[in-house]
Chain A
Amino acid sequence: MDHRSALIVKLLAMADDELVLAHRNSEWTGHAPILEEDIAFANIAQDELGHAALWYEIVSALTGDNPDKLVFFREAAAYRNAPLVELPKGDWAFSMVRQYLFDAYEMVALPQLMNSTYKPVGDAAAKIRSEELYHLRHTMAWLKRLGLGTEESRSRSQQALNDLWPYALQLFVPVSDEHLLVEAGYMPDAAALQTEWLALVQPFLQECSLALPPHELAPGDRFHHTSYLAELLQEMQSVARLDPAAIW
């Protein structure tokens, strides 16, 4: 595998993470705990969709594939998102904990991506970062209140953390030949990112009175999905597939 192919896989993984998470979050629209949060979380979902578009555009420049085609006409097996983001939205604690773990991952990855020697990546990361600062602030505010709130909110958050932690760790499993990208300065080293992520996340979770689950990877990876992804895509792609020739 060469640099170009490795870069395409990596960028697809980044784009697919954002897209699938955006879709899961959008499922709260009309169902969030209060109207204000409904708007806030729909905003965040829309932001993640915008970030996905930025990564897909870079893929598109490399391969000539149309981003809409990548999103609406690829089968689940060809998606490269981490299973973390395809899991059903669960209860509010589950969605908040997932969003927090993902926001924290982006928060450590983006400053390094901004220094990528591959300029389109650096430019996109700079755009995304200012929004992620806000996302993290939002989810941290929620986690504190859930973790330190009532016994019910704490135990639901702990359960969510236990379920999500093994999936969150998969974010730091390199894709095929990712070392080529690290050597070229295109992408940061995943193991170093994980160390930084743990240093950010662990003390905060403790502050929220949430216990750290054991360090175990969940089954599956970016190439082997749960059945939830196919179900999600079936819904997400249904309209576009009704009339593939339609112009939007």
Chain B
Amino acid sequence: MSDTQWPRFEVFQQDKPGQLHYNAGSVHAPDAEMALLNARDVFARRPRCHSMWVVPVSAISAWTYQELVERVWAADGSGAAAASPQPYAIFRKELNSRNTLEHVIYTGEVAAASPEDALQQARTAFDDGVPVAVWWVVPTWAITRSDPEEVGSFYEPALSKQYRQPNHYHTRAALEHFRQTVKEA
């Protein structure tokens, strides 16, 4: 069956200034600008969000823990070494058996000649002894970021929309009250 969907974009969300962007999920969109708008509507409905990035899935190189264990690396990246280095954003998800809901989180940037080169550098540069379940490597040009000037219209209105929160409706209290009334009747 052919895929009639628009391309998929991964969405990274930052809850508050200074925090790391984490992978919130994905959206379909015809282009990056629409992906950003869709991401805002799908993932920033509930507070709080400060910034979003979208990345087309085609721009992501991914490696899992298992792949890296089994992989025999070439002695050098001969062809890649000729290319001039460009910035890559590195994302990773920690291998954590206790919490399966761990996010893929932004880890930092490296300058590298290829995604593989970027991965190798990242494995050294960001090694803090924690095993990594999955690495994502993205050339920074492929990231579309929400405009800091638009925080007010993009994200702040959600803060005042308490009616979007399930606990706004006090359903439990209402149900208790209803049960009580029925019992007394």
Contact = CB atoms under 8 A, between A and B. Distances in A.
A and B pair up: yes
Contacts of B161: 50
A166 B90 CA distance: 53
B28 to A, nearest CB: 6
Given A130-B156, A131-B157, A43 B45 contact: yes
Contacts, number: 45
A141 B153 contact: no
B107 interface: no
Interface stretch (A33-41, A111-119, A168-176): A33-41
Given A36-B28, A39-B42, A43-B45, A145 B34 contact: yes
A73 interface: no
A138 interface: yes
Contacts of B62: none
Interface residues on B, range: 20 to 34
B33 interface: yes
Interface string B33-60: 1100110111001000000000000000
Interface residues of A, number: 18
B37 A34 contact: no
Binding site secondary structure of chain A: helix
Interface in B1-50: 6, 27-30, 33-34, 37-38, 40-42, 45
A131 B41 contact: no
A43 B34 contact: no
A131 B153 contact: yes
A236 interface: no
Contacts of B152: 130, 133
B154 interface: yes
A36 B157 contact: no
A133 B153 contact: yes
Contacts of A131: 153, 157
A47 interface: yes
A134 interface: yes
Interface of A: 34-37, 39-40, 43, 47, 50, 127, 130-131, 133-134, 137-138, 141, 145
Interface of B: 6, 27-30, 33-34, 37-38, 40-42, 45, 150, 152-154, 156-157, 160-161
Given A36-B27, A36-B28, 14 more contacts: A36-B29, A36-B41, A37-B38, A39-B42, A40-B41, A47-B157, A127-B160, A130-B153, A133-B150, A133-B153, A134-B153, A137-B37, A137-B150, A137-B153
17 contacts: A36-B41, A37-B38, A39-B42, A40-B38, A40-B41, A40-B42, A43-B45, A50-B161, A130-B156, A131-B153, A133-B150, A134-B150, A134-B154, A137-B153, A141-B33, A141-B37, A145-B34
